[in-house]
Amino acid sequence: MSATTSSDPLSLRFESLARSGRRALVTYMTAGHPDPVQSVALMRALQDGGADVIEVGVPFSDPMADGPVIQRSSQVALEHGVGFAQVLAMVHEAALSIPVVLFSYLNPVLAAGPEVLVRASEAGVHGVLLTDLPVGADPEREAWIGAGPLAFVRLVAPTTPVDRMREIARHGRGFVYLISRLGVTGMQANVASDLPDSIARLRTATDLPICVGFGVSTGAQAQAIGRLADGIVVGSAIVQAAERGIDAAHALTVELRQALDNI
Amino acid sequence: MTAPALVRDRFGAFGGRYVPETLIPALDELEGALDAALLDPTFDAEWRDLLTHYVGRPSPLSDAPRLSELVGAPVWLKREDLNHTGAHKINNTVGQALLARRMGKSRIIAETGAGQHGVATATICARFGLECVVYMGEEDMRRQSLNVYRMQLMGATVVPVTSGTRTLKDATTEAIRDWVTNVRDSHYIIGSVVGPAPYPRMVREFQSVIGRESRAQMLERAGSLPRSVVACVGGGSNAMGIFAGFVDDAGVELVGVEAAGEGLESGRHSASLSRGTPGVLHGSLSYLLQDGQGQVYPAHSISAGLDYPGVGPEHSYLKDSGRAMYVAVDDGQALEGFAMLSRLEGIIPALETAHAVAWIAAQRGRWASNEPVLLCVSGRGDKDVSQVREMGILPL
Ligand SMILES: Cc1ncc(COP(=O)(O)O)c(C=O)c1O
């Protein structure tokens, strides 16, 4: 399905960005980090700083796709007793005007029960992205999520062959999340050299907007990637800034916004 | 929306491939290489040659006269402890290293708990000249320091894992992170019948040599199939390997023995099948120790090799289908099993194996005097002797 025919808030946001020739800034934060109260303030600060979409991470005890920064933030959130219900309560309390995408591993979602997608939608969540549920891994549960009220955002990796990219795009909504390089989440000094090639191949496979994440942390990287893709996802850098304070995370968001708008 | 292509290798509802997208092409490649190898007589010949002349197979089937007397039924011991490196783990690492070589991978990653799988991986990597990186929880490195030194002697790099509970669960998570990062030149040798497809099937395939040999040996030496086959279950590879030989024999009972740690009621145990609920960890859906929020509980067992909150998906299937039964033995009983096999048969078992010994020893009267019981002695206890001695356990 194509982004231009959908009317969900995520697709509408990307359509309006495309009309004005701007790139999407997607910022990640772990719900419950630095602590549950500050998390709500952080969501608002990211929105105020110019984020287009907020990815809200659901903490998990064994985050195999995450590097040290997000691992640590998940651990902190779990120590604060943050579970699925608390994550949704934070999103609800933040009452954002921009779309929210839940970023989770599958197990906490399964544990939250069959009503979880509807509850998330009612709390103000618009999309869901599951790190360990690749296309084809579990058709039954993928169909359950695909038929629910949230846009099911799917991931593409540098190792994904182009015919599989097409398959993934067919099952995705909202945007396609392109992992910029091999490895786990975390900040990197350089943009992967094969990224332009990956983006070009993905373009041939989908009309959905393409957002690039994993390793993006600076304004310069945002610009380099923003020239090729429809948006960027910044995770570990935001989480690390949030450890210094909400103001630091806000300042980084503003810097990334300006960089993207000055391409 | 068309349904995505079905993934093979489900065991009923269990199994699957719950991994980051980056790994999917590598799992496809591995599955292709495995299926081709299993049909290729050259691969089979290479594998068998190594098992015979390097590992020392077939492993013997020993009778156990004094343990049999205690139990009241003939107990037979499948001696995986006599393999090179002292456990069943090497059956799998030889097979996977051969596959890695065929796929042109020059670097091997492994996780280890007790260190036995790490040692078995380091061993075959030395033999094949492959780079070897082993992730091991800091806590396990302390418990099994001799195995750390063995791996290093054979040229492996042992990376201490300091996240989470610092045991096998976290070492596995860390090994997966390495694999996601270095997937183009690295093969991840998982040490048990866990992980995403095709790992559970592949590891069972390589371990099923235990079951095939012992079935033939039982028919030859005992003159009949066993009434019961008993094995300890951590991830479940020695159990799956020996069960594989008997799963089609309806009259043979299959018993897996989990670690009850400080007791099933204490909350400090590793009995995923006895006390867990279905959930997703490390790439597959299986019984799992987890809280109501889907967060994985830290496991506990006196034996590092059983100290894992998950279990292979095929065991979950065998449990739910009723084909196998699963029981649990606590730390104290395992120590008694350790001392008992040492004293009665002159065989010092691994603490993992000692759980299965203890369960059998406690079942006097369960079997008639003509019903043979087959026990998988998954490994030898040399690695555990100093830990047990430090605990002040006196000879019986
Ligand atoms: C001797 C021995 N037995 C059993 C196990 C448990 O593994 P599995 O359940 O995969 O056989 C281990 C693991 O390290 C081991 O070293």
pLDDT at residue B268 is higher than 50:
yes
Amino acid identity of residue A222, one-letter, is A
* B345: nearest Cα among B317, B375, B319: B375
Q: In whole angstroms, how far apart are CA A4 and each of A78, A153, A173, B279?
A: 39, 16, 11, 37
Mean local confidence (pLDDT), B359-373: 97
Q: Structure tokens of B100? A: 């890695």
pLDDT at B390: 87
DSSP labels, A191-211 = --TTHHHHHHHHHHH-SS-EE
Q: Structure tokens of B224? A: 């009949």
Cβ atoms of residues A231 and A26 within 8 Å: yes
Give SS3 for B174.
helix
How far does the centroid of ligand 1 lie from the alpha carbon of residue B352, in Å? 6
Cβ atoms of residues B314 and B284 within 8 Å: no
Q: In whole angstroms, how far apart are CA A173 and each of A2, A23, A169, A206?
A: 8, 18, 8, 11
Residue given tokens 């943050």 in the structure block: A82
CB contact under 8 A, A64 and B282: yes
Q: Which of B3, B169, B280 sits opposite A107 (nearest CB)?
A: B280
pLDDT at residue B395 is higher than 90:
no
Cβ atoms of residues B344 and B69 within 8 Å: no
Give SS3 for A169.
helix
pLDDT at residue B203 is higher than 60:
yes
Residues 6+ apart with CB under 8 A from B50: B94, B98
Alpha-carbon gap, residue B171 to B219, rounded angstroms: 40
Alpha-carbon gap, residue B127 to B97, rounded angstroms: 10
Q: In whole angstroms, how far apart are CA B318 and each of B264, B280, B326, B352, B372?
A: 21, 18, 9, 21, 22
Cβ atoms of residues B147 and B119 within 8 Å: yes
Q: What letter does residue B296 receive in the DSSP assignment?
A: B
How far does the centroid of ligand 1 lie from the alpha carbon of residue B216, in Å? 23
Per-residue pLDDT band for A5 (boundaries 50, 70, 90) equals: very low
B238 lines ligand 1 (CB under 6 A): yes
pLDDT at B8: 60
Compute the residue count for chain B.
Answer: 396
pLDDT at A1: 40
Interchain CB contact of B20 with A (< 8 Å): yes
- With a pLDDT cut of 70, the percent of chain A lying above it is 98
Minimal-distance CA residue of chain B relative to A168: B4
- Report residue A155: phi and psi, to 5°: -105, 145
Give SS3 for A26.
strand
Nearest protein CA to atom 7 of ligand 1, as residue: B234
Distance of CA B133 to the CA centre of its chain: 20
CB contact under 8 A, A105 and B280: yes
Cβ atoms of residues B108 and B131 within 8 Å: yes
Q: Which of A1, A133, A182 sits opposite B18 (nearest CB)?
A: A133
pLDDT at residue A45 is higher than 50:
yes
- With a pLDDT cut of 70, the percent of chain B lying above it is 97
pTM of this prediction?
Answer: 0.96
Largest CA distance in chain A: 44
Amino acid identity of residue B107, one-letter, is R
CB contact under 8 A, A182 and B21: no
Alpha-carbon gap, residue A3 to A12, rounded angstroms: 8
> How many other CB atoms sit within 10 Å of the CB of residue B274?
20
Measured between beta carbons, which residues in chain B are less than 8 angstroms from residue A134?
17, 19-21, 24
- With a pLDDT cut of 90, the percent of chain B lying above it is 91
* B87: nearest Cα among B205, B245, B218, B232: B232
Mean local confidence (pLDDT), B263-283: 97
Q: List the Cα angle B295/B297/B299 in 5-degree steps.
A: 155
Give SS3 for A245.
coil
Alpha-carbon gap, residue A33 to A60, rounded angstroms: 13
pLDDT at B392: 78
pLDDT at A80: 97
Alpha-carbon gap, residue B206 to A3, rounded angstroms: 47
Alpha-carbon gap, residue B205 to B193, rounded angstroms: 10
CB contact under 8 A, B7 and A138: yes
H-type helices in chain A, by residue range? 9-19, 36-49, 68-79, 84-94, 106-111, 116-123, 139-146, 162-171, 195-205, 219-226, 236-244, 246-261
Mean local confidence (pLDDT), A155-184: 96
Mean of all residue pLDDT scores within chain A: 95
Measured between beta carbons, which residues in chain A are less than 8 angstroms from residue B22?
157-159, 179, 182-183
Residue given tokens 């030395």 in the structure block: B126
Give SS3 for B300.
coil
Measured between beta carbons, which residues in chain B are less than 8 angstroms from residue A157?
20-22, 24-25
Interhelix angle for A246-261 vs A36-49, to 10°?
Answer: 20
Q: Which residues of B39-73 are buried (b: 16+ CB within 10 A; e: fewer)?
A: eeeebeebbeebbeeebebbbebbebeebbeebeb
- Report residue B349: phi and psi, to 5°: -85, 160
Bridge pairing between strands B61-63 and B186-189 = unpaired
Nearest protein CA to atom 5 of ligand 1, as residue: B305
Per-residue pLDDT band for B396 (boundaries 50, 70, 90) equals: low
ipTM: 0.95
Interchain CB contact of B45 with A (< 8 Å): no
Per-residue pLDDT band for A92 (boundaries 50, 70, 90) equals: very high
Q: What is the pLDDT of residues B339-358, one digit of tens each?
A: 999 999 999 999 999 999 99
Per-residue pLDDT band for B2 (boundaries 50, 70, 90) equals: very low
Cis peptide before A59 (omega within 30 of 0): no
Q: Is B375 left (phi over 0), alpha (psi -120 to 50) or beta?
A: beta
B114 lines ligand 1 (CB under 6 A): yes
pLDDT at A6: 59
Q: What is the pLDDT of residues A128-157, one digit of tens each?
A: 999 999 999 999 999 999 999 999 999 999
Q: What is the pLDDT of residues A197-236, one digit of tens each?
A: 999 999 999 999 999 999 899 999 999 999 999 999 999 9
Helix H or strand E encompassing B274: helix B272-275
Cis peptide before B198 (omega within 30 of 0): yes
Bridge pairing between strands B253-261 and B324-330 = parallel
pLDDT at residue B19 is higher than 60:
yes
Mean of all residue pLDDT scores within chain B: 95
Helix H or strand E encompassing A212: strand A210-213
Mean local confidence (pLDDT), B155-174: 93
Bridge pairing between strands B277-281 and B284-288 = antiparallel
Give SS3 for B303.
coil
Which of B159, B280, B284 to mutate against chain A (most A CBs within 10 Å)? Answer: B280
Alpha-carbon gap, residue B144 to A250, rounded angstroms: 47
> Of A4-13, B36-45, B176-185, which range is least confident?
A4-13
Ligand 1 test: best mutation among B79, B80, B89, most atoms within 8 Å of CB? B89
Size of interface A-B (CB pairs under 8 A): 136
Q: List the Cα angle B140/B143/B147 in 5-degree steps.
A: 80
**Active site residue ranges of B:** 89, 111, 378
Interchain CB contact of B282 with A (< 8 Å): yes
Alpha-carbon gap, residue B331 to B173, rounded angstroms: 26
Nearest protein CA to atom 12 of ligand 1, as residue: B305
Interchain CB contact of B177 with A (< 8 Å): yes
> Of A109-118, A234-243, B139-148, which range is least confident?
B139-148
Cβ atoms of residues B315 and B326 within 8 Å: yes
Alpha-carbon gap, residue B212 to A120, rounded angstroms: 51
Q: Of A66, A140, A194, A230, which is the active-site residue?
A: A66
Per-residue pLDDT band for B7 (boundaries 50, 70, 90) equals: very low
Alpha-carbon gap, residue B247 to B227, rounded angstroms: 12
